[in-house]
Amino acid sequence: MKLSALLACFLLASPLVAVAQDEAVPADPKDEILRPPPTYKANGVDVVEKLGSRVPLDTRFRRQDGNVMTLGDVLAAKRPGGAGATGSDELPTILTFNYSDCPMLCSLQLNGLTASLPEIARKQDGATFWLGEHYRIITIDLEPHEDLGKLAKMREKYIARFPEAQREAARAGWTFLAAEMPGDGTHIKRVAESVGFSYVYVTERAEWAHPASLIFLSSRGMVTRYVHGIEFSPDVLRESVLKAGASEPATAVGFMNRCYHFDPSANDHSQAGVMALRIGAAGFVVLLISGLGVLRSIRKSKSSHVSEKENRS
């Protein structure tokens, strides 16, 4: 791994985590990940939980097919053909924030989600939870310049991870939203702020630094639970969907992941350290060459003296 392109992924325990811990295993010093300096602008990337808050329903977006609609329009869409998770035709929602060119974290999060969702579609205790029939997913794209073609391709990539029998319903139930006006991230930010989700653009890397969290919403857009991380227990997802459908707040679960590239060479102190090492190495090479030259001269001088003595004798 090159120091100049170190991927910093911090696993931060949520203050309300309900996960049992095994015995701590001492960390290998070689695996240590350097923390960014206090001035690094992505240090503030976090999730401040706001249970009971409501998302702004008047925010406007382009859907993956190009149609413009408000967030309220998406949340108000009825379940086709009958009742949802709680006997209503209104559906609870899993809200995520991602973007198509995310180098790693978005893929890890959505891969983990789509690995678990088919599991909760299997009957357990007489209940099933199908995406598109019992709950919906809304993914808001963090990149305000996102190309809709790439967004639609990203959506299909994750729909394809569902069993074939579930794909039609999943396609109807998973909406990807991009900025209404390309380049204008105002409404993206409004929704993110309403649920306490912070993110920042890292110009040097041309990437968005952001956390990984699922935010469960009631059918009216109220925050009911945060599930942090990149792997999701089917039991937790079942419970979270059920509680969101009943507009019942629940304790957060999981570990929050924040991933972003940090370049230590961009820090003044690091640059000074690297420069000092280079100067030291150059000085050592000069001393080594000089020493070898001196030794060679001494040997040559001794050889000349021996030759003179032999000639005189």
Please list the alpha-helical segments (H only) found in the chain.
Answer: 71-76, 105-120, 148-159, 164-173, 186-194, 234-245, 268-312
More reliable by pLDDT, 294 or 165:
165
Average pLDDT value for residue range 87-97: 86
Tokens in use for 34? 């350097």
pLDDT cut 90: percent of the chain above it? 58
Average pLDDT value for residue range 61-65: 97
Task: Name the band, by pLDDT with cuts 50, 70 and 90, for residue 259.
Answer: low
Task: Name the band, by pLDDT with cuts 50, 70 and 90, for residue 42.
Answer: low
Question: Can you name the residues that pair with 270 across neighbouring β-strands?
Answer: none
Average pLDDT value for residue range 216-220: 96
What distance in Å separates the CA atoms of residue 62 and residue 90, rounded to the nearest whole number? 22
Query: Could you tell me if 248 and 241 are in contact, meaning their C-beta atoms sit under 8 angstroms apart?
Result: no
Does the pLDDT at position 81 exceed 90? no
Task: Name the band, by pLDDT with cuts 50, 70 and 90, for residue 205.
Answer: confident
Rounding to the nearest 10 degrees, give the CA dihedral for residues 73, 165, 161, 46: 40
Of the listed ranges 6-15, 55-64, 108-117, the least confidently predicted one is 6-15
More reliable by pLDDT, 4 or 102:
102
Average pLDDT value for residue range 140-154: 97
**Tell me, what's the pLDDT at 283?**
56
Task: Name the band, by pLDDT with cuts 50, 70 and 90, for residue 113.
Answer: very high
> Any residues with CB less than 8 A from the CB of 195 and at least 6 apart, and which?
50, 53, 55, 95, 215, 223
More reliable by pLDDT, 87 or 56:
56
Task: Name the band, by pLDDT with cuts 50, 70 and 90, for residue 20.
Answer: very low
Does the pLDDT at position 182 exceed 90? yes
Average pLDDT value for residue range 34-52: 72
**Tell me, what's the pLDDT at 300?**
63
Task: Name the band, by pLDDT with cuts 50, 70 and 90, for residue 272.
Answer: very low
Query: Could you tell me if 219 and 93 are in contact, meaning their C-beta atoms sit under 8 angstroms apart?
Result: yes
Does the pLDDT at position 102 exceed 60? yes
What distance in Å separates the CA atoms of residue 176 and residue 249, rounded to the nearest whole number? 25
Task: Name the band, by pLDDT with cuts 50, 70 and 90, for residue 8.
Answer: very low
Angle, CA 5 vertex, CA 3 and CA 8 arms, to 5° = 90
Average pLDDT value for residue range 148-173: 97
Angle, CA 129 vertex, CA 126 and CA 132 arms, to 5° = 145
pLDDT cut 70: percent of the chain above it? 65
Average pLDDT value for residue range 150-158: 97
The whole-model pTM stands at: 0.73
Task: Name the band, by pLDDT with cuts 50, 70 and 90, for residue 210.
Answer: very high
Query: Could you tell me if 15 and 46 are in contact, meaning their C-beta atoms sit under 8 angstroms apart?
Result: no
